[in-house]
Structure formats: C-alpha cells, structure tokens
Structure 1
Amino acid sequence: MISFNYETKFSLNNELEVADWIAETIAQEERKEGEINFVFCSDDYLHKLNVEFLNHDTLTDIISFDYSVGKELHGDIYISVDRVNENALEFGVSFEDELARVMIHGVLHYCGYKDKTEDEKALMRSKENDYLGRRS
C-alpha cells in the first residue's frame, strides 16, 4: 500500500493517480508493492533526520529508509517540499515535475538502482525519464 503523509502545509491533490503511477512502476520493475510511506516535510524536518540518522549536516530533497524484503518493496520516503521547490526553480522545471522525479527516484532505489557512479547515475536518470513519461 502506498500512503502519503504530511508534516507541512503541502498536500498532493491527486493522491490516487500518483499511487497508481507508482504501483505501475513497481510492477514494471517486476517488484511487489508493500508498504511505502511518502512523508512530505520542510527543509528543517528533513535536515534533522539527515543529521540524526545519516550524520550529514546538509540539506537534501529526499531521504529514504528501505525496509524491502526480497522483491517486496517497503520503506519510508521523506521529501522536503522546500528543496523540491528550490530545485525546480534551479533546473527550470515545474514543481510537479520535480516532485514526481524525486518520488520515482526513491522508488527506483528500492528496486535496486544506485546513483553513486556516473554509469549508475545515467541509468537512474534514464529510468526516471522513462517512468516520468508514463505519468497520466
């Protein structure tokens, strides 16, 4: 089950469509949908998590905690809507498009994709672009 939680004033206005898109992505990657919780929050909220759990004293747009078991995906994906908004402005894309990219990025990590090397980053970006093109 895909759920959406809010620790800030932001909220999705199309939760069902987003959940369906994510579920389709998971199926395309030959994985099973488990419990995936998206938590939308502020920079401050995510920064505290970044320091407390990862020892990173930096701002970030996403932190994901992966509890997947085999091919069944489970986890918590925290997204800073402040960072997404800043990045959308910086990259010249809409907030909605940048948010979708960050959301699917987290799910692709659960599917086993990495982004540490240049080759891994290129594959991740290709997968993101493919699934972004499938949104309704």
Structure 2
Amino acid sequence: MISFNYETGFDLDNEQEYADWIGRVLESEDKTEGEINYIFCDDAYLLEKNIEFLNHDTLTDIISFDYTMGNLISGDIFISVERVKDNAIDFKVDFIDELKRVMVHGVLHYCGYTDKTEEGEQEMRAKEDEKLAMFNDQTEV
C-alpha cells in the first residue's frame, strides 16, 4: 500500500495516479509492493530528521528509511517540497517532473540501486528516466 502524508501546505494532485505509477515501477523491477509512505514536508522538518537520524546538519531533498524484506518493498520516504522546488529552478525543469524524479529515486534505492559511485549514479539516472517515462504510460508493466 502506498500512502501520502503531508507535513506542509503542499498536496499532491491525484494521489491514485502516483500510487499506480509507483506500483508499476515496482512490478517492472520484479518487486512486490509493501507499505510505502511518502511524507511531504518543508526544509526545516527534513533538516530535523537529517540531524536526528543521520547526524547530518545539511538540507536535502529526500531521506528514505528502508524497511524492505527480500522482494517486499517497504519504507518511509521524506521529501522536502521546498528543496524540490529550488532544485527544479536550478535544473530548469518543471516542479512536478522534479518531484516525480525524487519520488521514484527513493523507491529505486529500495530496489537495490545506489548512487554512491559515478557508475552507480549513471545507472540510477538511467533508471529514473526509464521509470519517469512509465508515468504517462498506464499500460506498461
């Protein structure tokens, strides 16, 4: 089950469309959908989590807590809407496109992809692009 929670004034339009998409992403990776919670928040909220849980005193766009067991994908994905908006401006992309990229990025980590090396980062970007293309294609699995 994919759920959406809000710790800021932001609301995601058409939550079911996003939940269906993430489900298709998981199916395309031969994974099973467990409990995935998206928590949309602001910079201050996410900074507090970053300090509390990761001992990092820096702003970030996403922090994910992975509870995956085998192929059952589960976790909590915290996303700073403020950071995503700033990144969209910096990267000269649409806010919603950047938000979808960050949303799928967290799930791809749960599927085993990492971005700690240059090679891993390139693979992650390619996977993000592949999965973003699935957003508008309701038939792909």
SS of the residue aligned with 2:13? coil
User: RMSD of the TM alignment (CA)?
Assistant: 0.4
Q: Which residue does the alignment assign to 2:87?
A: 87
Q: Which residue does the alignment assign to 2:118?
A: 118
What is the rounded CA distance, in whole Å, between the counterparts of 1:113 and 1:131 in structure 2?
Answer: 13
Amino acid at match of 1:24: R
Alpha-carbon offset, residue 47 of structure 1: 0.1
Q: Which residue does the alignment assign to 1:69?
A: 69
TM-score (normalised: structure 2): 0.96
Q: Which residue does the alignment assign to 2:139?
A: none
In the alignment, structure 1 segments of 5+ residues that lack a partner are none
1:19-50, CA deviations, whole angstroms, 9 ceiling, x for partnerless residues? 00000000000000000000000000000000
SS of the residue aligned with 1:103? helix
Does the alignment pair 1:29 with 2:29?
yes
In the alignment, structure 2 segments of 5+ residues that lack a partner are 137-141
Q: Which residue does the alignment assign to 1:129?
A: 129
Q: Which residue does the alignment assign to 1:14?
A: 14
SS of the residue aligned with 2:30? coil
Q: Could you tell me the percent identity over the aligned residues?
A: 61
Alpha-carbon offset, residue 14 of structure 1: 1.3
Alignment length, in residue pairs?
136
Amino acid at match of 1:106: G
TM-score (normalised: structure 1): 0.99
What is the rounded CA distance, in whole Å, between the counterparts of 1:129 and 1:70 in structure 2?
Answer: 25
Alpha-carbon offset, residue 133 of structure 1: 1.0
